[in-house]
Amino acid sequence: MNIGSKIKKRVVLPSRPEPPTVDHILKDINGATPNDPVFSILEQTGQDSHRPSDSDVDLRFQQCQRYLELNERLQQARGRLLRWREDLRLAGEQLQNDIAEVKGQTL
């Protein structure tokens, strides 16, 4: 029995889709109907007032600012993950080369 026959084939997972752009998100929001669940939740919690108070505006600003900060951190983490994935891919190639070299020496 060949050692290689015991090794299972590596399953290649499909790549993840790119996150939506800001333009796409805004298009979705603008295209939402008034009975969209998000708007009904806002009405139920009393957050759908027509004239927001100064404290509401401040709160929204802080939420937006926090969102942008978190988005930036996510983009940085995405960059790190892409680099790590490439490092792992290169390490896997090197491992395959080393395995082939060892197999060549034992024949």
- Residue-wise pLDDT for 4-21, tens only, equals 555 667 778 788 888 888
User: Nearest Cα to 82, choosing from 14, 16, 13?
Assistant: 16
State how far the Cα of 23 lies from the Cα of 31, in Å rounded to an integer: 12
pLDDT above 50 (res 1):
no
pLDDT above 80 (res 101):
yes
34-57 pLDDT, tens digit each: 777 766 666 666 555 555 677 878
State how far the Cα of 85 lies from the Cα of 79, in Å rounded to an integer: 10
State how far the Cα of 26 lies from the Cα of 24, in Å rounded to an integer: 5
63-95 pLDDT, tens digit each: 999 999 999 999 999 999 999 999 999 999 999
Chain mean pLDDT for the chain? 81
**pLDDT number for residue 54:** 75
pLDDT above 60 (res 99):
yes
Domain boundaries, the chain: 20-50, 53-107
